[in-house]
Structure 1
Amino acid sequence: MVSIEKISFRRVWFITGASRGLGALIADAALADGNAVVAAGRNVAAITERLGESPALLPVALDVTDEAQGKAAAKAAVEKFGRIDVLINNAGFGLLGAIEESSDADVRQMYDTNVFGLLNVTRAVLPVMRSQRAGHIINMSSIGGYRAGAGFGAYSSTKFAVEGLTEALRAELKPLGIYATVVEPGYFRTDFLDASSLKVAREVIADYDETSGNVRRIAASLNHSQPGNPEKLAKAMIELVDASTPPLRLPLGTDTLKAIAEKNAYVTQETETWRALSASTDFAAS
């Protein structure tokens, strides 16, 4: 048996949703880069099957919606490796359907994972990073976290929440030597559009056929032919963590870059159009 104390790791990464998809690929890249990885997921056996066994790997059971499990996983990470340098809040899933088609139960379940689950894990890890006065929290958002669209409104709202939380974390943690970054992937060739990662609203309302209905059809045709290369995304995460001054936002994919440029141009144009009314609501200058 190899003694952990005799092994020097570049950093210790804590990754949620690490049993498959982007989480597993990021874990692979981090391990290959000489880091230790705490790979968290609901099914520990699936993590071990996907990532193998290594002195640098600690699989931990974690349902991010369970606050106690988050604290236990963080404690296990520190007991094993002594610190946590990078947190990747990757666990999450999507919901495809018009806002009216999206059921209360489905939306609440998605918020429990994508938002409240992220908060559970972040709160569990931050005491460790604060004691170190060092660390990097990376929250996985989406192209839909910057620009919402028909069919993904409820999902985008969870990622808008992640964006806002990350902005605030960036300001709160900067004096403590801890960075926060929100990553905005576009459409990458993963299982995100499969049933394992994307719920489709059961109700279908004919009035939305040209908007959300069309998005349902496009999503089905796009599955597993997305433009983004997930292995390149995983490697980009290594470069992000190595950066001396990481960004607040990191868009990944030319589709995300295009979406951001188009939204920024739209916001600028609309703001100028309505500037007079917007400015008219202040108290008159004395």
Structure 2
Amino acid sequence: MNGTVIVVTGALGALGRSVAEIALARGARVAGVDHAQAQLPATDDRIELGGVDLSDAEQAKTAIDAVAAHFGRLDALINIAGGFAFEAAADGDGSVWQKMHTMNLVTALNASRAAIPHLARSNSGRIVNVGAIGALQAGAGMGPYAASKAAVHRLTEALAAEWKGKITVNAVLPSIIDTAANRASMPKADFDKWVKPQELAEVILFLASDAASGVTGALIPVAGRV
């Protein structure tokens, strides 16, 4: 990935950090975009853009354009920004459905729209989204989250069809990711069965690499040891 310019949204979370660190170790130049405030100073190989609300199309465009201007181009966009909420479908707060739609679908859509003009000029334009295995068949309380991630799956397929031959667009579908937050919320679970951030990052970065030039429109389960 030597010299590849990658934008990682949700870069300050556990998965985002893993993706960024592995990409940097392989010679990529990485821009992290997050709603939280940036934590690291800019270097030749890495910048962080904090305080960005990707649910706002103009903020997304401003951030992505700033990355392209800083590095001179953009080769890959990795859409990790998102969130989770558990709520019963029949009697919950309807606002949770809108929140999940905004956090998981709209952020990916806005970032992708902003990045596509830059990615189309790259010889290896890539978009990698994060869907969810849980969106393939929703369980109890998973309706809002599963619906929003299923929409990410459909977005992935639509963009792949629209940009075939110019930009590859794929998604990883993880099960539960082994993060500190997930361990805290499910303390009695068997953490060894969960997919590790580093394992998921490896699949993401494969899809963002030249080696995956023939893969587009794919929804790839990354289920850990469940």
Q: Tell me if TM exceeds 0.5.
A: yes
Residue among 245, 260, 276 paired with 2:214: 245
**Identity among equivalent pairs (%):** 32
Equivalent of 1:228 in 191, 195, 215: 195
Moved more, 29-38 or 100-109: 100-109
Residue matched to 2:18:
25
Instruction: Please name the residue that 1:83 is paired with.
Output: 73
CA distance in 2, matches of 1:42, 1:27: 16
Cα deviation for residue 103 of structure 1 reads 1.0
Alignment of 1:159-174 (within 5 A): 159-174=149-164
* TM-superposed deviation, 1:239: 2.4
Aligned residues: 222
SS of the aligned residue for 1:45 comes to coil
Residue 55 (structure 2) pairs with residue 65 (structure 1): yes
- CA-based RMSD of the aligned residues comes to 2.3
* Cα distance change, pair 223–155 in 1 and its aligned pair in 2 (3 A): farther
Within-5 A mapping of 1:1-286: 9-46=2-39, 48=40, 54-61=43-50, 62-132=52-122, 134-175=124-165, 177-191=166-180, 193=182, 219=186, 221-222=188-189, 226-242=193-209, 243-247=212-216, 248-254=218-224
After superposition, what is the alpha-carbon deviation per residue over 1:201-220, rounded to whole angstroms, capped at 9, x for unaligned?
xxxxxxxxxxxxxxxxxx45
| 2-structure distance, mates of 1:239, 1:120 | 23
Question: Is the Cα contact below 8 Å between 1:19 and 1:41 reproduced in 2?
Answer: yes
Once the two structures are overlaid, the 10-residue window that deviates more, 132-141 or 224-233, is 224-233
Structure 2: unaligned runs, 5 residues or longer: none
Contact 1:136-1:180 at 8 Å conserved across structures: yes
Question: Higher helix fraction: Structure 1 or Structure 2?
Answer: 1
What SS does the aligned partner of 1:237 have?
Answer: helix
Larger-gyration structure (1/2): 1
Q: Report the CA distance between 1:97 and its aligned residue.
A: 2.2
Deviation by residue 1:154-180 (Cα, 9 ceiling, x = unmatched): 1000011011111111111103x2100
Distance 2:4 2:12 in 1: 20
Structure 1: runs of 5 or more not aligned: 1-7, 199-218, 257-286
| TM-score using structure 2 length | 0.88
The SS at the match of 1:15 is: strand
- Hey, what's the Cα distance between the residues in 2 that align with 1:235 and 1:59? 21
Change (3 A) 1:170 1:45: closer
Deviations along 1:122-170, one digit per CA (max 9) or x if unpaired, are: 1111111223364111110011122221121110000110111111111
Structure-1-length-normalised TM-score:
0.71
Query: For 1:229 and 1:44, how far apart are their aligned partners in 2?
Result: 25
